[in-house]
Amino acid sequence: MKNPLLSLSAVMAASALALTACGGGGDGDSATEGDAGSASTAAEGDGVLAVVEHMYGPTEVLEPEDGELRVVALGWSDAEIALALGVEPVAVHDWQSFGEESHGVGPWAADLFDDVDPEVIPRTDGDLDYEYIQSLAPDLILNVNSGYDEAEYNRLSEIAPTISGPEGAANYNPGWEKQTQLVADALGLSAEGTELIEETHTKIEEAREAHPEFEGVEAITGSKFGEAYGLNLSGDMRWDILELLGFQMYAPADELNNGEDFYADISEEQVEIFDADVAVLYPIGYTLEELQADPLISSLDVVQEDRAVFLEGDSDLSMAFSAGSPLSIELVLEELTPQLAEAVENLD
């Protein structure tokens, strides 16, 4: 399947929304140290902070001589995970065009920058500016949630130790638990990463227990962009969070779940695949009003019966829904869960 992040680059640049912020793979089991590969933290004082296994093999991260690890976070949501672990990157690749005021991360994470005013690298659909990255003098490059281009990895590795995604991961789909653990491992904070994952699962489970009415309700998450529609599948956190809350995928949509792709293009003739008990729909390159006025979307029973949750394209919730980091998941649980509860009420 063509990666929608690449095929829709023009739309995404214009809308400041990213289609495949695919921190997915949540199966309900907390990741444990080493799930993302393996990491060993060397004894203090031997000059090695950690050795991290990822899809391109082991990478040795050295302890900086001055004790301050200079981290350049290039992967989608890698910076947010580092911040959640108490590490402030010196540069952030701004995947969702949050801008310099937000330090290139979601508003839910921006305040965690305290001692560092990071360089914000604007999102580009071309090659990375390797000379600029080198000028930042990084001790570590995080590129965990990315397109997994081997040539890109090799070039970054010439600049500094670089951590890519977990072995076997699809482009832009490391799984939020594995992404979190790999970032933590690279920072020499493996135990803290495991704890962060467990805390996030606890929050998800608390939300699920607070809403037993979600259990078994058929749902979908999807979008409209250009003249096309898209369906999020297992492996995309935008669906996975609903599943973790107790929803199950609408049977016709589930037929597209092949275990490999985390997104499916939906033609105009297939739009009824969104007509689940509950739908979460968001626009890309459109306003919310334009999405709601779409004649095919508006004709669905799930919309006409107020069982659809529409997300404003540039809202914090919509952005968090796409980011798929522990910090953004917390915001999604706080703001989306009540809207889902209202939609489920309308099933009666």
Query: What are the per-10-residue average pLDDT scores of the chain (348 residues)?
Result: 34 35 38 47 67 97 93 97 98 96 97 97 89 98 96 98 95 92 98 98 98 98 88 92 97 88 90 97 89 94 97 92 95 97 94
∠ Cα 85 91 97 (to 5°)? 95
User: 121: which 2 tokens?
Assistant: 């690298």
pLDDT of residue 313: 84
> For the chain, first and last CA: distance in Å?
38
User: 269: which 2 tokens?
Assistant: 């003739």
Strands annotated E in the chain: 39-40, 48-54, 57-62, 71-73, 91-94, 119-122, 140-142, 162-163, 218-225, 228-232, 248-249, 263-266, 278-284, 308-310
* Alpha-carbon gap, residue 236 to 260, rounded angstroms: 11
User: 139: which 2 tokens?
Assistant: 């001790």
The identity of residue 178, as a single letter, is K
| Structural domains for the chain | 39-206 (3.40.50.1980), 214-345 (3.40.50.1980)
* Alpha-carbon gap, residue 67 to 194, rounded angstroms: 23
Three-state DSSP at 327 gives helix
- Parallel, antiparallel or unpaired: strands 308-310 and 263-266: unpaired
Burial of residue 228 (CB within 10 Å: 0-12, 13-18, 19+) is middle
* Alpha-carbon gap, residue 83 to 73, rounded angstroms: 10
Residue entry with tokens 């008990």: 277
* Alpha-carbon gap, residue 329 to 332, rounded angstroms: 5
pTM: 0.86
Q: Under a CB-based contact definition with an 8 Å cutoff, are residues 225 and 198 in contact?
A: no
Three-state DSSP at 314 gives coil
The identity of residue 102, as a single letter, is S
The CA-atom distances, in angstroms, between 152 and each of 91, 129, 162, 186 are: 18, 11, 10, 19
User: 175: which 2 tokens?
Assistant: 């799984």
User: 287: which 2 tokens?
Assistant: 């306003």
pLDDT of residue 7: 33
The identity of residue 259, as a single letter, is G
